[in-house]
Chain A
Amino acid sequence: MTELETYLNAATHGLWGRKKLEVREELEAHVLERAHKHELLGLAREDAISKSMQELGNARAINQRMMEVYMLSKQLLLGSVCACALASFGIWQMTKTTVLHLECSNADQSFHFSGTTTGKYSRLNLPDKSVIATAIKSSSFTAKTINTTFGEDPSGVESLQMQAHLASFETPGHNFSFSDVDMKTVTRNGNSNPEVHCEFK
């Protein structure tokens, strides 16, 4: 992997889909055009690219700001869609964006999740998973990608801390299963923070 690829990976880490590709292409175009000018002034190609990346700035800082742009807007958008959908089903009234703390076991290669939310919800009626699944699908939540990071302990159980962009549900006082979540692709970059992409089926 080249230095530029490493830089672009870091700058776009956590973004997903078309947005990730677009940000990556935009930053790459910037670096290469800057580098081209440095080359005209006599720098070697690799040095020119390094200098351009330095001028563009710390990739993690760019990534953090980009994530603020897209995570926030995504949360607000999905939060409002979710609230409308759930309100129409008369199940929940969402009062706070939640962060999920989940555990993931891949022993059977199925990546079945279970866990609890830390978000606060007002419960209106007893939830039913099939109704919730319908609510998710009816609110355009199908095939939405979640990006997250995880670590792995010696027992092979991978602990996830996943920022939820999608509706999350809980039965107050009970854990819940995310049987609608499936790991579609797993990309391990060989570092401690591999990208994991999850999708609601």
Chain B
Amino acid sequence: MNQPLDPNLLKGNLELILLTILEEGEMYGLEIINEAQARTDGLFDFKEGSLYPALHRMTQAGLLTSEFRESDLGGPRRKYYTLSEKGTKILEKKHAEWQRFNQAIDGLRGAR
């Protein structure tokens, strides 16, 4: 497993990370956490407590939609999140920005 990233780096890009994960399809909170860890070999190990406020903030902003469904474990229902149309557009925009940023950093390093 990789060493976890600087938490500030994750925090600063949490929205992009969540949108990217949810691009794969609807997921509930714990599933998102597990997916982030699995797909990055443990690199994205963000604080769980920061996940739900972020999901709610993004839902409030119209980037996500949510729906409760029964859990296969019984007990309280799970809340599933899905990218909205607006969220998909924002994701595309953020990915493009991220690529430009990376290219700029590469340019800086190449200029040395």
**Which A residues are within 8 Å of any B CB, using their own CB?**
22-23, 25-30, 32-34, 36, 55-58, 61-62, 65-66, 68-70, 73
Contacts and interface: CB of A to CB of B under 8 A. Distances in A.
A28 B76 contact: yes
B79 A61 contact: no
B30 A34 contact: yes
Contacts of B49: 56-58, 61-62, 65
Interface of B: 28-30, 47-50, 52-53, 56-57, 60, 68, 71, 73, 75-79
Contacts, number: 63
B48 A56 contact: yes
A73 B30 CA distance: 25
Contacts of B28: 29
A150 B77 CA distance: 33
A25 B48 contact: no
Among B29, B73, B76, chain A packs the most CB atoms within 10 A around the CB of: B76
B47 A32 contact: no
Contacts of A57: 47-50
